């Protein structure tokens, strides 16, 4: 099943360049645009993965490493991986203790079956072919290992969905103009969220990529969903 991304099919190198340009202010812009909710979402990801000391965890599309920090704090060995050199450089400067790796989610630079768990926060939507990305994540996961995908999704209460769509398409680009170094990229963000599959749609795609026992739960009334699964 293809993910329909009408008008959003940026070439991978343009996506990488786009993130290079927002890297400096990425963390602060995120917190402003999510109205401080992003910290809560990140904590929920770590709780669901439930990292044990000594486990090896891949955080794909980790950007500056914001999504990786809570794993390191829990005692896991986390590898933040991203293909935007700009994001990696800012990340390395802010968090020199993390072992950042440059790599494309479509063709990961890791051997088969090496991670106890894999995760991706707000990145799967940006990968050119998300099903290939999910299959790559599965390839590098040990048998019995787990995945958590944290991604924007579809609000479960219809009237709220209408208000939220207005926020995405109008308010978000306007706020981004004030706080981001590249407001255009936040227009892309709003459009990419609206054209992303809903909770059930993403679960189907994860199963297509080979993941088993796929399920999800919603955060913030479905603005974000956490999908989890296992490699059997």
Ligand X SMILES: C[S@@+](CC[C@H](N)C(=O)[O-])C[C@H]1O[C@@H](n2cnc3c(N)ncnc32)[C@H](O)[C@@H]1O
Binding span for ligand X by CB under 6 A among 8-16, 49-57, 157-165, 223-231: 8-16
Residue 82 in the binding site for ligand X (CB under 6 A): yes
CB-facing half-sphere around the CA of 155: CA atoms within 13 A: 16
Q: Is 127 in the site for ligand X (CB under 6 A)?
A: yes
**C-beta of residue 230 within 8 angstroms of C-beta of residue 146:** yes
Residues in the chain: 232
- Closest CB to ligand X among residues 58, 61: 61
* Adjacent-strand bridge partners of 194: none
20/143 with CB nearer ligand X: 20
Residues 96-115 that bind ligand X (CB under 6 A): 104-106
Q: How far is the CB of 182 from ligand X (least distance, A)?
A: 13
Of the candidate residues 123, 130, 145, 197, the single one contacting ligand X (CB under 6 A): 123
* Among residues 16, 69, 79, 172, the one that binds ligand X under rule CB under 6 A: 16
**Is residue 15 a contact residue for ligand X (CB under 6 A)?**
yes
Say how many C-beta atoms besides its own lie within 10 A of residue 222's C-beta.
Answer: 20
Q: Match 């019995």 to its residue by tokens.
A: 144
Q: Decide: is 91 part of the binding site for ligand X (CB under 6 A).
A: no
Dist. CA 128–CA 146, nearest whole Å:
23
Q: State the residues that interact with ligand X by CB under 6 A.
A: 12, 15-16, 19, 61-63, 66-67, 82-84, 87, 104-106, 121-123, 126-127
């Amino acid at each position: 099943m293809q993910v329909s991304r009408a008008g959003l099919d940026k070439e991978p190198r343009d996506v990488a360049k786009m993130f290079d340009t927002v890297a400096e202010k990425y963390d602060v812009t995120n917190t402003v645009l999510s109205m401080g909710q992003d910290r809560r979402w990140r904590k929920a990801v770590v709780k669901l993965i439930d990292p044990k000391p000594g486990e090896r965890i891949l955080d794909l599309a980790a950007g500056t490493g914001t999504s990786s920090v809570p794993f390191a704090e829990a005692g896991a060995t986390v590898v933040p991986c991203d293909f935007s050199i700009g994001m990696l450089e800012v990340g390395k400067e802010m968090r020199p203790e993390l072992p950042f790796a440059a790599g494309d989610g479509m063709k990961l630079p890791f051997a088969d079956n090496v991670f106890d768990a894999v995760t991706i926060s707000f990145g799967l939507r940006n990968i050119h072919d998300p099903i290939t990305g999910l299959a790559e994540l599965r390839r590098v996961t040990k048998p019995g290992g787990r995945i958590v995908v944290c991604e924007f999704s579809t609000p479960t209460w219809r009237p709220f969905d209408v208000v939220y769509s207005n926020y995405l398409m109008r308010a978000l680009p306007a706020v981004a103009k004030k706080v981001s170094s590249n407001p255009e990229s936040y227009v892309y963000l709003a459009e990419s969220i609206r054209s992303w599959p809903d909770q059930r749609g993403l679960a189907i795609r994860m199963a297509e990529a080979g993941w088993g026992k796929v399920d999800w739960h919603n955060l913030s009334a479905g603005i974000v969903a956490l999908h989890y699964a296992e490699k059997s």
